[in-house]
């Protein structure tokens, strides 16, 4: 196994999150790539060919966007059907669905075997530290599963008038992630992506809160801020997880650009798979 990609999305027609053609077109410009829909088998082969095991991150944002989504059962079926490609899946939970969200979280973990909860605050439209959503985190602590929050800017709505209505304030590390980490010290929190333009805030939270980690998806490593590059090989080497943000960022491109940064072999091993195995308690 070359690596564990801790952050991927669907490239299939059923699973692809964005349903608005205008938002898709804007994201293609932002990432300078073309969205190509694949079959389930073709998507799995993208990782099997690279000798990578990946973790699926479905997102339920129906309340805020109206976009229908694939459902947790579909994500769980991908893990079951293609174990050579997918080592697990987080559950997509819409925080605005109240009691139904809690019921779905319980079902997803206990019945479907999902290993965490994925949030993307920009498309879901919420602040993580809004106390109305604290019962979700309480349930995660009870179930002993991590949560993953989006931090920093986003390709969703980028370039559209008003950013498509998606607000970047929802993804600021301080106070929103920091407050949740302080109020739930037993909750494992993973922050997705370099947190630009709040990279220094993200580093501060990672250093201050033992229960917070960072996946490095969504950016080519050659564009990482210098402060982040330094921390990956230094104080935060045990808190960084490899993630690509497939299909927007091809795994092979991310890995090639990361290898070009010249980190020592032990740092490479930690980021590419050892940290992920430990943080997510994976059975590999």
Average pLDDT taken over every residue of the chain? 96
pLDDT band of residue 103 (cuts 50, 70, 90) is very high
- What pLDDT score does 34 carry? 87
In angstroms, rounded to a whole number, what is the distance separating the alpha carbons of residues 22 and 54?
29
CB 164 within 8 A of CB 154: no
Nearest to 216 by CA among 28, 7, 33, 59: 7
Over residues 236-271, the pLDDT tens digits come to 999 999 999 999 999 999 999 999 999 999 999 999
Which residue shows structure tokens 């987080």? 90
Identify the CATH class of 3-280: alpha beta
Over residues 112-155, the pLDDT tens digits come to 999 999 999 999 999 999 999 999 999 999 999 999 999 999 99
Phi, psi of 62 (to 5 degrees): -60, -40
- How much of the chain is helix, strand and coil, in % rounded to 5? 45, 15, 40
Domain ranges of the chain: 3-280
């Amino acid at each position: 196994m070359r690596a564990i990609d801790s952050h991927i999305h669907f490239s299939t027609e059923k699973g692809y999150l964005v349903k608005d053609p205008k938002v898709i077109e804007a994201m293609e410009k932002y990432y300078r790539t073309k969205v190509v829909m694949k079959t389930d088998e073709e998507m799995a082969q993208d990782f099997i060919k690279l000798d990578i095991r990946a973790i699926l991150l479905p997102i339920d944002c129906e309340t805020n966007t109206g976009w229908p989504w694939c459902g947790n059962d579909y994500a769980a079926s991908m893990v079951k059907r293609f174990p050579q490609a997918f080592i697990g899946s987080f559950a997509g939970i819409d925080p605005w669905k109240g009691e139904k969200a809690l019921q779905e979280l319980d079902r997803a973990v206990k019945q479907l075997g999902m290993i965490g909860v994925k949030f993307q605050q920009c498309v879901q439209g919420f602040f993580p530290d809004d106390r109305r959503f604290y019962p979700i985190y309480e349930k995660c602590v009870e179930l002993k599963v991590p949560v993953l929050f989006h931090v920093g800017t986003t390709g969703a709505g980028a370039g559209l008038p008003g950013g498509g209505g998606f607000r970047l304030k929802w993804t600021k590390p301080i106070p929103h992630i920091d407050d949740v980490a302080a109020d739930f010290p037993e909750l494992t929190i993973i922050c997705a992506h370099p947190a630009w333009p709040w990279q220094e805030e993200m580093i501060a939270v990672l250093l201050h809160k033992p229960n917070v980690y960072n996946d490095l998806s969504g950016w080519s490593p050659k564009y990482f801020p210098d402060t982040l590059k330094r921390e990956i090989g230094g104080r935060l080497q045990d808190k960084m997880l490899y993630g690509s943000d497939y299909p927007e960022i091809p795994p092979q491109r991310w890995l090639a650009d990361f290898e070009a940064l010249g980190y020592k072999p032990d740092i490479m091993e930690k980021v590419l798979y050892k940290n992920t195995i430990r943080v997510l308690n994976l059975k590999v």
